[in-house]
Structure 1
Amino acid sequence: MEISAAGRLEVRITTADVGKRVSVRSLIEHGPSGEKFTDTVGVLTSWDNGVLRITRKSGESVRVAETSLVAGKVVPSAPARRRGPAASYEELARVSARAWRPVESERLGAWELRAADGFTRRANSVLPLGDPGVPLDEALAAVRGWYAARGLPAYVQTATGAEGTQERLCAELERHGWVREVTAELWVAPLAPVADLGGEPSGVVLSREAGDAWLTRYRRKGVSEVALRVLNSGPSVWFATVPDGPGAPAAIGRCVVDGRWAGFAAVEVDPARRRRGLATAVMAALARRALDEGASAAWLQVEDDNAGARELYGRMGFAAHHAYHHHRAPQSSAPAGDGAL
Structure 2
Amino acid sequence: MLRRQDVGHRVVIRRIVGVRNGRPLYSDALGELVAVDESNLTVATAKGTIVIPLAEVHRAKRVPPQRRPTAGSVIALELAADAAWPAPIRGKLGDWLLRSADGWTGRANSALPIGDPDRPLEAAIDAIEAWYAERGQPALVNTPLPLAAPVGAALDARGWTARPLTLLQTAPLLPLVGTGEHSGVSLAKAPSDDWLAIYEARKHSLPASALQVLTGPPEVRFANVYDGDTLIAAGRGAVVGDERRWLHLASIEVVPAYRRKGLARRVTAALAGWAVELGATHAFLQVEERNTAAVALYGTMGFTTHHSYLTREQPSAARPDAAC
Q: 1:256 aligns with which of 238, 256, 266?
A: 238
- On the 8 A contact 2:121/2:151 being kept in 1, the answer is no
CA drift of 1:235 comes to: 3.7
- On the 8 A contact 2:122/2:154 being kept in 1, the answer is no
Gaps of 5+ in 2: none
Gaps of 5+ in 1: 1-14, 336-341
Structure 1 segment 148-159 matched on structure 2, within 5 A: 148-159=133-144
Distance 1:42 1:209 in 2: 39
Distance 1:42 1:182 in 2: 13
- On the 8 A contact 1:99/1:235 being kept in 2, the answer is no
Structure 1 segment 126-145 matched on structure 2, within 5 A: 126-145=111-130
Aligned equivalent of 2:199 = 218
- On the 8 A contact 2:165/2:290 being kept in 1, the answer is no
Distance 1:283 1:152 in 2: 34
- The answer to whether 1:102 aligns with 2:87 is yes
Distance 1:218 1:21 in 2: 35
CA drift of 1:304 comes to: 2.1
Structure 1 segment 321-332 matched on structure 2, within 5 A: 321-331=306-316, 332=318
Distance 1:211 1:80 in 2: 43
Q: 1:177 aligns with which of 148, 159, 184?
A: 159
- The answer to whether 1:35 aligns with 2:35 is no
Distance 1:221 1:74 in 2: 42
Aligned equivalent of 1:114 = 99
Considering only CA atoms, is the larger Rg found in Structure 1 or Structure 2?
1
Moved over 3 A (4+): 17-26, 28-33, 36-43, 53-65, 71-74, 332-335
Distance 1:38 1:300 in 2: 31
Distance 2:300 2:205 in 1: 33
Distance 1:112 1:279 in 2: 32
Aligned equivalent of 2:219 = 236
Structure 1 vs Structure 2 CA RMSD: 3.6
Count of aligned pairs? 303
CA drift of 1:57 comes to: 6.0
Cα 1:97/1:63, change in 2 over 3 Å: farther
Cα 1:328/1:334, change in 2 over 3 Å: farther
TM-score by length of 2: 0.80
Greater helix fraction, Structure 1 or Structure 2: 2
Aligned equivalent of 1:198 = 180
Distance 1:37 1:266 in 2: 39
Structure 1 segment 9-20 matched on structure 2, within 5 A: none
TM-score by length of 1: 0.77
- Deviation string, structure 1 residues 131-177 (Cα, Å, up to 9, x no partner): 322222222221111111111110000122xxx62222222211211
Distance 1:136 1:62 in 2: 30
Aligned equivalent of 1:275 = 260
- Deviation string, structure 1 residues 220-249 (Cα, Å, up to 9, x no partner): 2442221100001124111100123334x1
- On the 8 A contact 1:31/1:37 being kept in 2, the answer is no
The percent of aligned pairs where both chains have the same amino acid is 38
